[in-house]
Structure 1
Amino acid sequence: MDLIQAEPEDAIELAEIRAAAMRPSLEALGRYDAQRVRKRFLDTYVPADTFKILHQGALAGLYVIRDKGDHLYLDHLYILPKYQNLRLGKAVVEYITRKAQFRQLPLRLGALRGSPANAFYIKHGFIQTHEDEFDIYYALSPIP
């Protein structure tokens, strides 16, 4: 697995990855809107915060990590369906967790209610902090 800084011209391709990865969970909730799922990503796209996940040279996913000063926020982590279950997400979460630990910062994120991502984050030590109508939020505190 390689992690590569995104470029401005990657925006559309990465929005497509988000749409493909989120589609099953959003459809299960009756909330899939092809245009909206892409627009939400594109409206907040910052190449400096965005990394492409490559598996054997192929673009397999992406993650977006935002430095909020007092914590790191994992805004997006998506793996294309054909690359899921290869432990890429696990490797990315472990990498980001090490970065947060090194900086002694909590790592926070939100996951769509009903998404398999919730079990994934709990399995990796995240604790639920709160929820809203559509998302459940988690945090992983730094080890003292």
Structure 2
Amino acid sequence: MLAELRARAMKDSLEAIGRYDEQRVRNRLLENFVVGDTYKVLMDQQLAGFYVIHLREDHLYLDHLYIDPAFQGHGLGHKILTDIQQQARSLNLPVRLGALRDSRANKFYRRHGFIQTHEDAFDIFYQWQ
């Protein structure tokens, strides 16, 4: 269920760079899946999205944040990210994450105060403090 949602949420961004492979998109989530670090987002009792946040020794790592395209534009991502930032503030830890290069997510994270720290061939990495 979550892997399918991830595939729907990432499809346009990955197709734009010629890297959409539904099985690989699903497997990426399943390879690192930790039940205790995964949170479902419901809207009108329907699965609207999910996120995975790992508590590391010196930071919180936002491994996944996906909102189903049918539920985007309702402020769910903003609410989730604001809650994560509040949690990080209370722990006195930064939040780190990576976003697919050329994804709309990059603008979203920058708008929420994340600063680019580095990049690789496919992803841009950010930190919020």
TM-score per shorter chain, which class? over 0.9
| Secondary structure of residue in 2 paired with 1:70 | coil
Give the Å deviation of 1:69.
1.2
2:6 paired residue number: 18
Q: State the partner residue of 2:66.
A: 78
2:56 is matched with which residue? 68
Match of 2:44 in 1: 56
Cα RMSD between the aligned structures?
A: 0.5
- Between the aligned partners of 1:133 and 1:26, the Cα distance in structure 2 is 13
Is 1:97 equivalent to 2:93 in the alignment? no
* TM-score w.r.t. length of structure 1: 0.89
Whether 2:122 is the aligned partner of 1:134: answer: yes
TM-score (norm 2): 0.99
User: Match for 1:126: what amino acid?
Assistant: F
**Aligned residue identity for 1:76:** H
Question: What does the per-residue CA deviation read over 1:42-101, in whole Å, with 9 as the maximum and x for residues that have no partner?
Answer: 011110010000012110000000111100000000000010000000000000000000
Measure, in 1, the Cα distance between the counterparts of 2:85 and 2:111: 14
Q: Segments of 4+ in structure 1 off by > 2 A?
A: none
SS at match of 2:30: helix
Aligned residue identity for 2:19: R
* SS of match in other structure, 2:118: strand
- Unpaired stretches in structure 1, ≥5 consecutive residues: 1-12
Q: Deviations over 1:84-121 (max 9, x none)?
A: 00000000000000000000000010000000000000
